[in-house]
């Protein structure tokens, strides 16, 4: 039996040069470290949740994995093969197996194309040998699987609700029968009731098609519901990663604890007890600039347990067992 991971990311970095309007020609541009050394493995059929505040680099990481954003350093390994350095034809074959669902369901769909043409577009790009009747039949079958009636195949995106547009986006991502789907905050723009429907749909399709999911969100309650493992990011760096149940039951990094403290509980008594819990403290202060991040541990300026050494030493990962990693020596 082959236990090799489907996807491996090793020390991935995505840095952007930033030149201000008043910079002199001889001045070096500042560097925005959107992703700064992220590593993880993802197995077939598994869901890895990636969480963190807005601006922590989650979406940039996803775009770098799929190839929409060039990586500055590090390696993306797909089924044991490094993606960097592959020829265009080889990279194209991998792209068929990795698809993406975007955050804004309406903005991700071409307003000049019908829903049927939008869902069929990947087939026309990657499998041009298919006849029109075959393509139309596959599109109708996929629409049925995601909960869209086949009789709306000739309608345009503006005629649909946000939830229906996201179902069309899911159908477009799955029409090629990929092995990995990257979900970039796929429910953040939807109503709460619709969020649950879309999450349940993704889980059902994952079981049916054997999909691996890279699920990005800032809502920890949603991530807990769908993820097998969770990776916590802050200012482009990994803070903690663990099995989902273990992370939520025993968070070790102060940042993870702060994120869990911010999750609302629909019970006033439990909410008050949660905020009185000494291990769960809400974040204080503003998020530092990613162009000029703090030295040492990037979280130290907002950390309740920071020490002097945190300003000069970037913390190594502490292995807590059972694949639980924490980037903090003070836990």
What are the backbone dihedrals phi and psi of residue 197, each rounded to the nearest 5 degrees, phi first? -65, -45
Name the percent of the chain lying above pLDDT 70.
Answer: 91
Name the percent of the chain lying above pLDDT 90.
Answer: 59
- Whether 256 shows a pLDDT value over 60: the answer reads yes
How would residue 238 be classed by pLDDT, with cut points 50, 70 and 90? Answer: very high
Q: Is 306 helix (H, G, I), strand (E, B) or coil?
A: coil
8 A C-beta contact, residue 216 and residue 185:
yes
- Whether 1 shows a pLDDT value over 50: the answer reads no
Q: pLDDT by residue (tens digit) across 192-236?
A: 888 889 999 999 999 999 999 999 998 888 898 899 999 999 999
Higher local confidence (pLDDT), 266 or 320: 320
Cβ atoms within 10 A of the Cβ of 113, count? Answer: 14
Q: pLDDT by residue (tens digit) across 118-138?
A: 999 999 999 999 999 999 999
Q: pLDDT by residue (tens digit) across 59-118?
A: 999 999 998 899 999 999 999 888 887 777 888 888 889 999 998 888 899 999 999 999
Reduced DSSP (H G I as helix, E B as strand, rest coil) percent helix, strand, coil of the chain, to 5: 35, 20, 45
Give the integer Cα–Cα distance in Å for 224 and 199: 11
How would residue 330 be classed by pLDDT, with cut points 50, 70 and 90? Answer: confident
Q: What is the mean pLDDT of the chain?
A: 88
Length of the chain: 331
Which pLDDT does position 265 carry in this prediction? 64
Q: Is 29 helix (H, G, I), strand (E, B) or coil?
A: coil
- Secondary structure (DSSP) of 205-229: HHHHHT-EEEEE-S-HHHHHHH-SE
What domains are defined for the chain? 7-17+31-227 (3.40.50.300), 252-331 (no CATH)
Give the integer Cα–Cα distance in Å for 238 and 149: 42
Q: Which of 266, 265, 283 is nearest to 274 (CA)?
A: 265
Token pair of 166 as six digits: 């996201």
Q: pLDDT by residue (tens digit) across 281-318?
A: 667 777 888 888 899 999 999 998 889 899 998 888 88
Residue 156 gets which letter from DSSP? Answer: -
Q: pLDDT by residue (tens digit) across 134-161?
A: 999 999 999 999 999 989 999 999 999 9
Token pair of 174 as six digits: 């799955």
Q: Is 282 helix (H, G, I), strand (E, B) or coil?
A: coil
How would residue 266 be classed by pLDDT, with cut points 50, 70 and 90? Answer: low
């Amino acid at each position: 039996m082959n236990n090799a991971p489907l996807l491996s990311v090793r020390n991935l970095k995505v840095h952007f040069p930033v030149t201000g309007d008043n910079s002199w020609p001889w001045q070096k541009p500042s560097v925005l470290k959107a992703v700064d050394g992220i590593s993880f493995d993802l197995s077939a059929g598994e869901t890895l949740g990636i969480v963190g505040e807005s601006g922590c680099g989650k979406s940039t990481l996803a775009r770098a994995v799929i190839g929409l954003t060039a990586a500055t350093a590090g390696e993306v390994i797909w089924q044991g093969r490094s993606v960097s350095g592959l020829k265009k034809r080889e990279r194209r074959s991998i792209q068929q197996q990795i698809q993406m669902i975007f955050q804004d369901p309406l903005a991700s769909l071409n307003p000049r194309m019908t829903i049927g043409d939008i869902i069929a577009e990947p087939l026309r790009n990657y499998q041009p040998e298919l006849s029109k009747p075959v393509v139309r039949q596959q599109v109708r079958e996929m629409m049925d699987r995601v909960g869209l009636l086949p009789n709306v195949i000739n309608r345009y995106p503006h005629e649909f609700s946000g939830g229906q547009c996201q179902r069309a986006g899911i159908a477009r991502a799955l029409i090629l029968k990929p092995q990995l789907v990257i979900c970039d905050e796929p429910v953040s723009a939807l109503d709460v009731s619709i969020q649950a429907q879309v999450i349940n749909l993704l889980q059902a399709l994952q079981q049916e098609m054997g999909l691996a999911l890279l699920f990005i969100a800032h809502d920890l309650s949603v991530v807990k519901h769908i993820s097998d493992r969770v990776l916590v990011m802050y200012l482009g760096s990994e803070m903690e990663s663990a099995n989902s149940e273990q992370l939520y039951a025993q968070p070790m990094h102060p940042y993870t604890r702060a994120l869990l403290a911010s999750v609302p509980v629909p019970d006033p008594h439990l909410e008050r007890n949660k905020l009185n819990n000494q291990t769960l403290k809400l974040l204080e202060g503003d998020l530092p600039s990613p162009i000029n991040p703090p030295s040492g541990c990037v979280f130290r300026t907002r950390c309740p347990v920071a020490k002097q050494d945190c300003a000069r030493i970037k913390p190594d990962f502490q292995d807590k067992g059972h694949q639980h990693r924490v980037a903090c020596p003070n836990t």
